[in-house]
């Protein structure tokens, strides 16, 4: 159920409050206040809006899977938590858009699409994968990166704070000095990952595989490691925790050695 709202930045057009409309294809529920109600209504009713003026539109959490928005102007729009999987964004103006936690997998974007550098990189990663890629220092904060293959990638000093990385493959990735604070790493594969001096404070590592990971000097304050696997790996060796800050860490059910499961503090 989505309330769509157009920005007040566009002047000279009367505000119109559309009557309540329930439009199942996109999962929207109006009323909708907009500067250009015709284009929003077209998007809602027809599941496409080519060449539309949607500047500043509030499309938070909108289900836009497969929608054709080619050539449309969405500058300054809020698309946080929206689903744009398999949508057509060729030639669209996506400048200064809020794409926090937005699903971009399979979206059609080309050289004519105006897209901020950060989000074009995110789109490339979720579409093509990042296995072995050198993306050190990249800003991937608040990006939706579920199931992405980062195995062997260089993410040194990258910003992955509050990113959605659940079930991501980070096997043997270099995350030294990376900011993973508040990131969702539920079920992620971090086997043999280099997390030396990484910031994992407040991160969710429930069920993550950290066997043989290098966690020396890492900041794990307040992290959730319940059910995580920190055992020795038969190939890569021991998980290293020297000087790691484990203050307030939840280790309920975590596997620390072959025969030791941490149950202290479990409810």
| 94 domain residue, yes or no | no
- Residue 15: inside a domain, yes or no? no
Nearest in space to 230 (alpha carbons), one of 258, 256, 200: 256
Is 223 inside any structural domain? yes
As a whole number of angstroms, the distance between CA 220 and CA 180 comes to 10
Tens of pLDDT, residue by residue over 64-82, are: 999 999 999 999 999 999 9
57 φ, ψ (degrees, to nearest 5): -65, 145
Q: Which domain holds residue 242?
A: 129-267
Mean predicted confidence (pLDDT) in 147-173: 98
pTM, entire model = 0.80
Structural domain includes residue 231: yes
pLDDT at 235: 52
Which one has a higher pLDDT value, 130 or 234?
130
Within a domain: residue 18?
no
94-132 burial: b if 16+ Cβ within 10 Å, else e: bbebbbbbbbbbebbbeeebbbeebbebbbebbeebbee
- Domain annotation covers residue 185: yes
d(CA 90, CA 250): 45
Count the domains in the chain.
1
Residue 117 within a domain: no
pLDDT band at 243 (very low <50, low <70, confident <90, very high): low
pLDDT > 50? residue 18: no
**Integer CA distances (angstroms), 144 to 11, 73, 107, 257, in order:** 33, 23, 13, 32
Give the residue with greater pLDDT, 41 vs 134: 134
pLDDT value for 257:
54
61 occurs within a structural domain: no
CATH number of the domain at 254, please: 2.160.20
Least confident of 7-21, 36-50, 205-219: 7-21
């Amino acid at each position: 159920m989505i309330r769509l709202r157009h920005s007040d930045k566009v002047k000279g057009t009367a505000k119109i409050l559309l009557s309540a409309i329930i439009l199942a294809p996109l999962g929207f529920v109006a009323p909708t206040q907009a500067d250009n109600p015709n284009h929003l209504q077209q998007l809602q009713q027809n599941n496409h809006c080519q060449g539309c003026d949607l500047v500043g539109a509030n499309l938070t959490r909108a289900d836009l899977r497969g929608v054709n928005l080619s050539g449309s102007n969405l500058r300054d729009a809020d698309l946080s938590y929206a689903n744009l999987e398999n949508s057509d964004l060729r030639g669209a103006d996506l400048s200064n858009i809020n794409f926090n936690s937005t699903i971009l997998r399979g979206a059609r974007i080309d050289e004519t699409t105006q897209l901020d550098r950060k989000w074009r990189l995110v789109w490339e990663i979720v579409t093509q994968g990042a296995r072995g890629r050198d993306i050190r220092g990249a800003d991937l904060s608040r990006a939706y990166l579920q199931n992405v293959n980062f195995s062997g990638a260089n993410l040194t000093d990258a910003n992955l704070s509050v990113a959605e990385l659940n079930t991501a493959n980070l096997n043997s990735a270099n995350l030294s000095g990376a900011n993973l604070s508040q990131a969702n790493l539920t079920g992620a594969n971090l086997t043999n990952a280099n997390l030396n001096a990484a910031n994992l404070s407040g991160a969710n590592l429930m069920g993550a595989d950290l066997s043989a990971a290098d966690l020396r000097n890492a900041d794990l304050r307040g992290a959730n490691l319940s059910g995580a696997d920190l055992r020795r790996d038969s190939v890569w060796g021991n998980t290293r925790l020297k000087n790691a800050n484990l203050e307030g860490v939840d280790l309920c059910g975590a596997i620390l050695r072959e025969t030791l499961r941490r149950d202290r503090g479990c409810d």
